[in-house]
């Protein structure tokens, strides 16, 4: 089963953000495995609840950090977060309607896991030089 893992190319320069990324990655891996092996609906629902709430909390914290450090990608980051929240709620609706279908398992990989890894590497990591410049 494809999983994603945190690696140093995802460093943002802010430990609390890195730790939140690790938690999000861990829960996405759990979600994919729970859905692929056909775990009970309740288990998948509780993972989706945790993930959705945690992602929103994380996005807020990260947007504050980017604003504080005058990060040039702050607006882009916030716009991408908004897209993810929309994707996540359409995912949630599909799950509530159809359950853990093969189509939805593919969506976890392509729209949630791959999105998160790419977003962290391309957008979130642009915070690191801003934090470094401020420290020097």
Our finding on whether 124 is near Fe ion (CB under 5 A) is yes
Our finding on whether 77 is near Fe ion (CB under 5 A) is yes
Q: How far is 85 from 77, CA to CA, in rounded Å? A: 12
Nearer to Fe ion, 35 or 62 (CB): 62
Asked if 107 and 89 touch (Cβ cutoff 8 Å), the reply is no
Q: How far is 27 from 16, CA to CA, in rounded Å? A: 17
Q: How far is 64 from 69, CA to CA, in rounded Å? A: 9
Our finding on whether 11 is near Fe ion (CB under 5 A) is no
Nearer to Fe ion, 9 or 136 (CB): 9
Nearer to Fe ion, 31 or 124 (CB): 124
Footprint of Fe ion (CB under 5 A): 62, 77, 124
């Amino acid at each position: 089963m494809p999983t994603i893992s945190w690696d140093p190319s995802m460093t943002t320069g802010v430990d609390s953000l890195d730790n939140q990324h690790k938690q999000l990655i861990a829960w996405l891996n759990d979600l994919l495995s729970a859905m692929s092996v056909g775990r009970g609906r309740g288990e998948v629902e509780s993972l989706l609840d945790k993930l959705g709430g945690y992602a929103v909390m994380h996005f807020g914290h990260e947007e504050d950090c980017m604003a504080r450090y005058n990060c040039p990608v702050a607006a882009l980051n916030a716009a991408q977060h908004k897209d993810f929240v929309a994707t996540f709620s359409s995912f949630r609706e599909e799950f509530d309607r159809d359950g853990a279908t093969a189509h939805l398992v593919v969506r976890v990989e392509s729209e949630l896991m791959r999105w998160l890894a790419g977003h962290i590497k391309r957008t979130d990591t642009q915070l690191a030089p801003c934090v470094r410049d401020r420290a020097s």
